[in-house]
């Protein structure tokens, strides 16, 4: 005897309810017409017609492009940079970030959003991301989502999870998901090994489900398999199969 395999989402019931509720809220408050006009953003010439070289000029280009894609009209957005990388001292010792774990991994603020007393919006970016275009786009889209939710008055208090979801809502799920975890080798002259770094606030399964939810809602035909990393792609396909089975 054969049983029909039941499609299940990769997220918990609570996460699924949170996603369905908040994605529906975003869809409603920004209007159906606006929702349907948003495109899933990919690292292609269609969206970013530039050869990136890791410069600060790349960040300014990306900022202006994402402002255009998110339809943000605020011209008082200032972009600044800071460095949060471990520092090798003259004696060879390593001064690491305060949040480093004993296994060599850490979670750092990839960017920050601030409104000053002169009505300027200050976005601060960690310089190390200039070498990683995907991470840079993910961070800037998240920080500009703050401007939509807080700057435009949709929220009175900050909500980082909803901010991540808003960036995904505006088409940046591929970047948010692909930049979730980064692994790299290091050698500072004293010791060497591997380090991992986490970015963003939402779990990978939640990012994948949200991206699939939006794909179904917009009736997209984007070839996601071409752009998603293996882990994200697995959860995305699982989410897509579940959502399509409900229709």
Buried b vs exposed e over 125-154: b needs ≥16 C-beta within 10 Å? Answer: bbebbbebbbbbbbbbbbbbbbbbbbbeee
The whole model's pTM is what?
0.84
Yes or no: say if 229 and 43 are a contact pair by the CB < 8 Å rule: no
Is the model more confident about 222 or about 69?
69
Per-residue pLDDT tens digits for 178-193: 997 554 433 444 443 3
Amino acid 23: pLDDT: 98
**DSSP characters for 23-49?**
HHHHHHHT-HHHHHH-----SSTTT--
Amino acid 225: pLDDT: 84
91-97 contacts: CB < 8 A, separation 24 or more? Answer: 92/189, 92/190, 93/190, 94/188, 94/190, 94/191
Per-residue pLDDT tens digits for 191-235: 433 333 445 689 999 999 999 999 999 999 888 889 999 999 999
């Amino acid at each position: 005897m054969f049983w029909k395999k039941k499609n299940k989402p990769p997220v918990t019931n609570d996460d699924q309810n949170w996603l369905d509720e908040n994605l529906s809220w975003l869809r409603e408050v920004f209007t159906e017409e606006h929702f349907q006009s948003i495109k899933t953003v990919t690292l292609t010439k269609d969206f970013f017609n530039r050869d990136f070289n890791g410069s600060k000029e790349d960040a300014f280009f990306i900022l202006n492009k994402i402002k255009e894609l998110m339809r943000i009209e605020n011209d008082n957005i200032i972009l600044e940079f800071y460095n949060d990388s471990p520092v090798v001292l003259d004696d060879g010792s390593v001064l690491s970030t305060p949040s480093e774990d004993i296994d060599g991994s850490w979670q750092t603020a990839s960017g920050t959003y601030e409104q000053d007393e002169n009505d300027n919006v200050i976005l601060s970016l960690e310089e190390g991301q200039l070498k990683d275009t995907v991470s840079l786009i993910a961070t800037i889209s998240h920080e500009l989502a703050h401007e939509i939710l807080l700057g435009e008055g949709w929220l009175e208090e900050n909500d980082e999870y909803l901010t991540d979801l808003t960036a995904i809502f505006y088409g940046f799920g591929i970047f948010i998901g692909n930049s979730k975890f980064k692994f790299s080798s290091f050698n500072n002259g004293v010791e060497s090994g591997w380090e991992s770094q986490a970015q963003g606030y939402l779990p990978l399964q939640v990012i994948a489900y949200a991206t699939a939810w939006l794909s179904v809602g917009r009736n997209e035909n984007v070839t996601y398999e071409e752009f998603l990393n293996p882990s994200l792609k697995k959860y995305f396909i699982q989410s897509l199969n579940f959502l399509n089975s409900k229709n």
